[in-house]
Structure 1
Amino acid sequence: MDQLANRWAGLAALLAGFFVILLDMTIVAVASPSIQHDLEPDVSGLFWVTAGYLLAFSVPLLVAGRLGDRYDPKRVFLAGMGGFAVASALCGLAPSIGWLVLFRVAQGLAAAAMAPQPLTLIRRLFVADERGRALGIWGSVAAAGTLLGPVLGGLLTAVLDWRWIFWVNVPLCGIALLMGLRWIPGSRGQTTRLDPLGAVTSTAGLGVLIWALLAWRDLSAPAIIAAVAVGAVLLAVFAFHERRMGPAALAPLGLYRSAGFRAASVAVAALGTAVIAMALPTMLYLQETRGLGPMEAALVMTPDAVVAAVLSPAAGRWVDRVGPRRPAILGMALLAASLLLIGLVVVLEIDPWWVALGAAVLGIANAVAWSPLSAAAMASVDSAAAGAASGMFSTVRQVTAVTGVATTGAVLAGLGSSPTLAFGVVFAVMAFVAVVGVVAATRLPRTSTEDGPDLHAAANVRQEDHPSNVGDLAADQRPLP
């Protein structure tokens, strides 16, 4: 197999792993009634089957990104994939709701180890003028994994059993592991020392805040205030500590001095929030308010995944030609338009199948937006800080997505007596978030290398601290024997 084919085979292994961890964010929802009938949990227990995964997935991303820098992203990715396969098999064997939640947390931790690594590895696999296409495909898989969860979950639950929504991950991960061992390039890692205090304060601070966001319905107002205060203090200590750590920082905050990384982070926060947070209210509206069945509701949203899959490679090539700014602006503008279209269907109470038009526009937005944001973020950092940058970028995307889910849940709960108004407000808020993303996209560099001269300063990394920045880069990234 020639070198080009090897690169795309390596990308396929990365995409298979990334697909399953995003699939498992949404695949459980449609199987929840079957899980409830079989294991007989209360509502809170059933909620934590999904929330436990989201919490364990979101919190350790910063640490996982730095572990990739230290021990080689290939090793961390493949170790996470192996752990994910084992946890998935155990989820399918869970004898009670308590065990299922525990194994879902294990799944989330394994997913967190995997999630930051693909961006770093794609940068290693592809030269600059090929990365846009690769990241475009990566973006389409990200969208498809999230949106196909309810479809695949419904099909497996109806034809086989709810346990197969977890067991289906095992062969996928096994195939991807074999491909990854063969075709993902490895390296000897770096001499970056770990940051235990940063790991503890960031993990604890994010954990408390995300737990409060997910569990707010079961908490009193004083408990929520206390949790937010504790989380904020821990994160303030983390930020103060990181400013003193220099190149060894778990999250080099100096990265945000780069206009490209800063703008890409804000835009991907808006993109992740809107795309993830709109999935549940859309499904609820189509099924509970408009009376569609689970498979009918899934079919209404199918144009999103189909359009994104078809257009993403071409969108990635466009990014390679023209740079990230114009594609990102168009993608975020189409995201806002899709949410407004779906919101109009809700407010005007017209035929729910018109939501499919909004889903098709959303598919174009997904195809066009993910690639330039990822490309701009990773091109704006030095290679020595790639793992940390990927961890920060993934953390921003995931934490804001969880925040969006919690916000939409609060709106739906607060306006539950008027479903049409509640759903209308949700889509209006998400459209506003998308507009914020459009504004951020206008601040992206016109080309992927526009921030180049300031990379070392932005990452707060000196050449002498990381010899691989220059002549030793090729040696540092040689595959291990």
Structure 2
Amino acid sequence: MSSTVLPPAQAWQALAALCLGFFMILLDQTIVAVATPGIMAAFDARLDQVVWVTSIYLLCLLVPLLFTGRLGDRFGQGTLFRLGIIVFTLAALAAALAPTLELLIAARGVQGVGAAILTPQTMSVINRVFPRERRGSALGAWGAVGSVATLVGPVLGGFIVSAVGWRGIFLIHLPVGLLAVVLATLWVPRLPTFARRIDVPSVAVSFLGMTALVVAVQQGPGLGWPAWALALGVLGLLSVALFIRLQATASRRNSEALVPLGMFRNRNYSLGVFSIATMGFTVSSMMLPVMLWLQNGQGLSSRDAGLLLVPMALIAAVASPLIGPAADRLDPRLLSVGGFATMIIALLFTCWLMVSDAPLGLFLLASGLFGVANALVWAPNSATAMRTVDIAHMGAASGVYNTGRQAGAVLGAAGVGAAMQVGAEAYGFVPGLAVSLLLPAAVLGAGLVAVAFFRPDSQVGPQGAEPQGAG
């Protein structure tokens, strides 16, 4: 057992502090969309301009994740977690006070950097302060926090925008961020560090490659893939190939790899990264066609459409803490295969509802199935992927895991957006929305195949012991 494992009461206190910061990040991702019309009106901006309020955040969140995960191994996950909260909160204040759209976009970019610093540290600390046999329970609670944030964001955002305007959605982060810093200082312990040097060429190439790929994927589909977007895509792929080469040769340069390639010899970890990318693809993309169908196709208000999604968030919030402990006892394939299969069924059922004359109330069943699927996927997948990772590589492994999830999200948003456009031109508006959901269903099929090859921990081998002399 790792020497950093805490007594149960202290471990759960640390988890509470971590979850508060995690809640703040997820709340931001759902609450900002509510304020988009207000931001457009305040700055007399076009939609293609305001979309950068979200796009720049996602770009600055995704690009540094490989680096910030390894920074946790080098300087301490608790230290980086607090730094991430501080950067994110100060940037939220700057966003609330921004006098121009350009400064608002810049502040959102800094918020994304803060989120990138914070995000991988959360999973790293959980996997270090909880024993292997309790990590499923901890990650179940962590997943429930995500579900609650998903529900609270749009509802709270609606009240805040109505009461004080769009700037209020950024000001709400100030008390939450301050409390998160205080609790993290009190409850998140200082953990031994392992990485001694950061490979600078790897950092530079990863930043270049990820930026090129994300910008190409974000902007290419909507603009019809102009030559510059294709060139960025090629540059990104070449940079990824060079990055992998640099990781393999880091020791020859007397440096430590940013992403130790030996991690991927852990079968459950590799499958977990791939499968969570397919889940990120789905979760980030499915809501747009669903909400367009409910509001434009069925004539519901945004409030009423949001209420139909309440079963998803509530069931996930209630079920995640119950399923988490089961992930510590059962064969990892059981829960994960059930989750991915349920998600695919829910997507196909929603497709059928869109093109049939079935009562709209049946969507509550689909919403509930989405909630069950989320609860069955997030905690079990995270616990299975991370449980047997070498403790010295926990930060790097968490960074790669979260990069996979966020990269899937960027690809999903771009892919389903393009599928909606093609489907609408070929079949009409509502049938086109239904067809677009077949894309995440197909991608999830690949994730389902991957998790079917998970193995019990006893067949993976213990890789979580602390290295001797760590400090």
Which TM-score tier does this pair reach, normalised by the shorter chain? Answer: over 0.9
Q: What is residue 17 of structure 1 aligned with on the other side?
A: 21
Q: Return the match for 1:423 from 430, 433, 436.
A: 433
Query: Does 2:358 align with 1:350?
Result: yes
* Whole-angstrom distance in 2 between the partners of 1:378 and 1:409: 32
Query: Does 2:243 align with 1:227?
Result: no
Please identify, of 231-240 and 79-88, the stretch whose mean Cα deviation from structure 2 is larger: 231-240
Query: Does 2:378 align with 1:374?
Result: no
* Whole-angstrom distance in 1 between the partners of 2:244 and 2:195: 23
* Whole-angstrom distance in 2 between the partners of 1:350 and 1:227: 45
* Whole-angstrom distance in 2 between the partners of 1:443 and 1:393: 18
* Whole-angstrom distance in 1 between the partners of 2:235 and 2:164: 45
Q: Return the match for 2:39 from 20, 35, 39.
A: 35
Aligned AA (2:440): M
Q: Is the 8 A contact 1:154 1:294 kept in 2?
A: no
Query: Does 2:291 align with 1:287?
Result: no
Q: What is residue 106 of structure 2 aligned with on the other side?
A: 102
Q: What is residue 450 of structure 2 aligned with on the other side?
A: 440
* Whole-angstrom distance in 2 between the partners of 1:225 and 1:385: 34
Q: What is residue 330 of structure 1 aligned with on the other side?
A: 338
Q: For residues 389-400 of structure 1, what are the structure 2 equivalents within 5 Å? A: 389-400=397-408
* Whole-angstrom distance in 1 between the partners of 2:264 and 2:128: 22
Aligned AA (1:441): V
Could you list the runs of 5+ residues in structure 2 that have no partner in the other structure?
1-5
Q: What is residue 192 of structure 1 aligned with on the other side?
A: 196
* Whole-angstrom distance in 2 between the partners of 1:104 and 1:73: 23
Query: Does 2:466 align with 1:469?
Result: yes
Q: Return the match for 1:452 from 456, 461, 466.
A: 461
Q: Is the 8 A contact 2:279 2:408 kept in 1?
A: no
Q: What is residue 305 of structure 1 aligned with on the other side?
A: 313
Deviation of 1:470 after TM superposition, in Å, equals 3.7
Q: What is residue 153 of structure 1 aligned with on the other side?
A: 157
Deviation of 1:104 after TM superposition, in Å, equals 0.4
Which secondary structure does the structure 2 equivalent of 1:17 belong to?
Answer: helix
Deviation of 1:78 after TM superposition, in Å, equals 0.6
The alpha-carbon distance between structure 1 residues 159 and 356, as it changes in their structure 2 partners (threshold 3 A), is farther
Deviation of 1:354 after TM superposition, in Å, equals 2.3
* Whole-angstrom distance in 2 between the partners of 1:214 and 1:163: 26
Deviation of 1:334 after TM superposition, in Å, equals 1.1
* Whole-angstrom distance in 2 between the partners of 1:152 and 1:273: 26
Aligned AA (2:185): L
**Deviation digits for residues 151-183 of structure 1, max 9, x if unmatched?**
332232123311111111111111111111111
Which secondary structure does the structure 2 equivalent of 1:443 belong to?
Answer: coil
**Deviation digits for residues 51-92 of structure 1, max 9, x if unmatched?**
010111111000000000000010001100011111111111
* Whole-angstrom distance in 2 between the partners of 1:161 and 1:129: 46
Deviation of 1:278 after TM superposition, in Å, equals 0.8
Deviation of 1:141 after TM superposition, in Å, equals 2.2
Please identify, of 251-260 and 197-206, the stretch whose mean Cα deviation from structure 2 is larger: 251-260
**Deviation digits for residues 123-171 of structure 1, max 9, x if unmatched?**
1221112110111111222344345433332232123311111111111
* Whole-angstrom distance in 2 between the partners of 1:257 and 1:349: 50
Deviation of 1:35 after TM superposition, in Å, equals 1.0
Please identify, of 436-445 and 151-160, the stretch whose mean Cα deviation from structure 2 is larger: 151-160
* Whole-angstrom distance in 2 between the partners of 1:84 and 1:181: 16
Which secondary structure does the structure 2 equivalent of 1:450 belong to?
Answer: helix
**Deviation digits for residues 228-272 of structure 1, max 9, x if unmatched?**
111111111111111112581111222222211111112111111
Aligned AA (1:357): L
**Deviation digits for residues 185-219 of structure 1, max 9, x if unmatched?**
11242342101111111111011110111112247
The alpha-carbon distance between structure 1 residues 333 and 191, as it changes in their structure 2 partners (threshold 3 A), is closer
* Whole-angstrom distance in 2 between the partners of 1:220 and 1:363: 35
Q: What is residue 394 of structure 2 aligned with on the other side?
A: 386
Aligned AA (1:31): A
* Whole-angstrom distance in 2 between the partners of 1:84 and 1:334: 35
Deviation of 1:345 after TM superposition, in Å, equals 1.2
* Whole-angstrom distance in 2 between the partners of 1:60 and 1:361: 34
The alpha-carbon distance between structure 1 residues 48 and 349, as it changes in their structure 2 partners (threshold 3 A), is farther
Q: Is the 8 A contact 1:87 1:106 kept in 2?
A: yes
Which secondary structure does the structure 2 equivalent of 1:192 belong to?
Answer: coil
Q: Is the 8 A contact 1:60 1:109 kept in 2?
A: yes
Aligned AA (2:454): L
Please identify, of 396-405 and 13-22, the stretch whose mean Cα deviation from structure 2 is larger: 13-22
Deviation of 1:3 after TM superposition, in Å, equals 4.2
Q: Is the 8 A contact 2:195 2:392 kept in 1?
A: no
TM-score (norm 2): 0.93
Deviation of 1:339 after TM superposition, in Å, equals 1.1
The alpha-carbon distance between structure 1 residues 68 and 24, as it changes in their structure 2 partners (threshold 3 A), is same
TM-score (norm 1): 0.91
* Whole-angstrom distance in 2 between the partners of 1:229 and 1:470: 40
* Whole-angstrom distance in 2 between the partners of 1:384 and 1:311: 32
Which secondary structure does the structure 1 equivalent of 2:389 belong to?
Answer: coil
Which secondary structure does the structure 1 equivalent of 2:328 belong to?
Answer: helix
Percent identity between the aligned chains?
35
The alpha-carbon distance between structure 1 residues 102 and 211, as it changes in their structure 2 partners (threshold 3 A), is same
* Whole-angstrom distance in 1 between the partners of 2:64 and 2:357: 42
Q: Is the 8 A contact 1:36 1:46 kept in 2?
A: yes
Query: Does 2:322 align with 1:314?
Result: yes
**Deviation digits for residues 391-418 of structure 1, max 9, x if unmatched?**
0111001011110011111112233341
Which secondary structure does the structure 2 equivalent of 1:111 belong to?
Answer: helix
Q: Return the match for 2:282 from 274, 278, 281.
A: 274
Query: Does 2:52 align with 1:48?
Result: yes
Deviation of 1:284 after TM superposition, in Å, equals 1.8
* Whole-angstrom distance in 2 between the partners of 1:20 and 1:324: 30
Q: Is the 8 A contact 1:286 1:297 kept in 2?
A: yes
Q: Return the match for 1:126 from 130, 135, 139.
A: 130
Q: Return the match for 2:372 from 342, 364, 373.
A: 364
Q: What is residue 463 of structure 1 aligned with on the other side?
A: none
Q: Is the 8 A contact 2:423 2:435 kept in 1?
A: no
Please identify, of 36-45 and 144-153, the stretch whose mean Cα deviation from structure 2 is larger: 144-153
Give the number of equivalent residue pairs. 460
**Deviation digits for residues 95-139 of structure 1, max 9, x if unmatched?**
111111100000000000011111110012211121101111112
Q: What is residue 242 of structure 2 aligned with on the other side?
A: 237
The alpha-carbon distance between structure 1 residues 253 and 92, as it changes in their structure 2 partners (threshold 3 A), is same
The alpha-carbon distance between structure 1 residues 203 and 76, as it changes in their structure 2 partners (threshold 3 A), is same
Aligned AA (1:413): Q
* Whole-angstrom distance in 2 between the partners of 1:218 and 1:102: 23
* Whole-angstrom distance in 2 between the partners of 1:349 and 1:156: 37
* Whole-angstrom distance in 2 between the partners of 1:390 and 1:192: 18
Which secondary structure does the structure 1 equivalent of 2:437 belong to?
Answer: helix
